[in-house]
């Protein structure tokens, strides 16, 4: 994937389906952390582009780091964006880690489909059973459409919830 934006499509769809049981901010932060290693390789011009960070073992370690750091970053972000109540919001740790692990594992899966240098199950095997499961164009469309459908579904769910809340306030 050309860095994080395409990875966010499935995240938006997951947010629409899971609601408050999923943090899109922590998912997004995890996408950024996942791509730091490839970015450093591109800058330095040396190294394995999709190295250890793009294995499921590396993704596990990244999910833990991104979850712990992302919890506090997301809570600050929600306050700054005025999405959170005045007193702030406390994202539950289970939501943090569900979001970070979905983020890191989905990142490895999506990149495994399109990058021939991926070895997602290293050190168990150097094979990549996901390579070319879909064409790159189809994968990009899947990510784009999942984001668009997810955003639409999220808006419908939010509108419906506001309507229900408004009826209860009467």
Q: Tens digit of pLDDT for each residue in 48-79?
A: 899 999 999 999 999 999 999 999 999 888 88
> Computed from CA positions of residues 42, 43, 47, 52, in that sequence, does the dihedral angle turn out positive or negative?
negative
- Token couple for 167: 């009826």
Are the C-beta atoms of 151 and 8 separated by less than 8 Å?
no
Query: pLDDT class for 136, splitting at 50, 70, 90?
Result: very high
Distance, CA of 138 to CA of 117 (rounded, Å) = 19
∠ Cα 128 25 96 (to 5°): 75
Are the C-beta atoms of 103 and 109 separated by less than 8 Å?
no
Rounded mean pLDDT of 110-130? 95
pLDDT at 10: 96
Cis amide linkage into residue 133, ω under 30° from 0 = no
Distance, CA of 28 to CA of 7 (rounded, Å) = 8
pLDDT at 18: 95
**Domain segments of the chain as ranges:** 5-169
* pLDDT of 133 higher than 50: yes
Are the C-beta atoms of 143 and 7 separated by less than 8 Å?
yes
∠ Cα 37 38 39 (to 5°): 90
| pLDDT over 70, % of the chain | 94
Are the C-beta atoms of 120 and 106 separated by less than 8 Å?
no
Rounded mean pLDDT of 148-162? 91
CA distances from 107 to 39, 54, 130, 140, 166 (A): 15, 8, 12, 13, 39
pLDDT at 103: 97
**What's the predicted TM-score (pTM) here?**
0.89
**Tally of residues, the chain:** 170
């Amino acid at each position: 994937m050309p860095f994080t934006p395409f990875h966010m499509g499935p995240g938006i769809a997951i947010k629409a389906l899971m609601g408050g049981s999923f943090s899109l901010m922590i998912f997004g932060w995890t996408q950024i952390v996942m791509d730091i290693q490839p970015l450093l390789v591109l800058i330095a011009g040396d190294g394995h582009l999709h190295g250890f960070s793009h294995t499921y073992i590396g993704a596990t370690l990244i999910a833990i780091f991104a979850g712990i750091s992302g919890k506090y970053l997301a809570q600050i972000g929600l306050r700054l964006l005025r999405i959170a109540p005045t007193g702030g919001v406390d994202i539950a740790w289970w939501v943090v880690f569900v979001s970070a692990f979905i983020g890191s594992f989905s990142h490895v899966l999506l990149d495994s489909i399109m990058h021939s240098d991926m070895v997602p199950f290293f050190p168990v095997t150097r094979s990549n059973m996901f390579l070319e499961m879909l064409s790159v164009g189809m994968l990009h469309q899947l990510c784009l459409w999942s984001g668009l459908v997810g955003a639409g579904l999220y808006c419908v769910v939010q509108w419906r919830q506001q309507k229900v809340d408004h009826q209860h306030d009467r």
